[in-house]
Amino acid sequence: MATQLTADDAKVSLNAHVASKGEEIRAKYGPTIAWKDLPLLLADRVYVRYPCTIEFNSEPLQSGEFAHPVPHGDRPEDGFTIFVHPIFMTQLSLVPMLVLYQLVVVNYGDFASADDALTFGAAALGLSEDEYYEKLCELADPICSCGTA
């Protein structure tokens, strides 16, 4: 008799998958993923399913948001722009950390959770999920406290 998978099974499976992909990214592009490595990663369809560009622009971001991918059209194949808060234009070494968090949404859409994004980014950067979360919060703090998005 076949066992039916539940939504929880699918979520556990996705989280394990994103952890594995993150580890593969670290092995290929790490151990430190620098700003100069980001275009190569974004062009690598093994790890980034759809075309992505980065734009430093806070207009599409919600209050307190450091980055967010916006689709170019109705189909993911049309690509995405990952908008990054302009405060990070002078801190390019931090941008990969922010973009990695967004790539789970690019790759897996709404089914992916914030936990999946943490798992993926942490694995790619060789951090624990707690360490990655703390670093992201530190980076978001100036955006939240300055009152702009």
In the numeric block, the tokens 């699918």 are attached to: 10
Q: What is the pLDDT of residue 149?
A: 38
Regions of the chain short of the pLDDT cut 70 = 1-2, 145-149
Q: What is the pLDDT of residue 96?
A: 98
What are the structural domain ranges in the chain?
17-142
Q: What is the pLDDT of residue 142?
A: 87
Residue 22 makes CB contacts below 8 A (sequence gap 6+) with 100, 119, 120, 121, 122, 123, 124, 125
The mean predicted confidence, pLDDT, of the chain is 92
Q: What is the pLDDT of residue 148?
A: 39
In degrees rounded to 5, what are phi and psi of residue 118?
Answer: -65, -45
Q: What is the pLDDT of residue 147?
A: 42
Q: How far apart are CA 116 and CA 105, in angstroms?
A: 9
Q: What is the pLDDT of residue 111?
A: 87
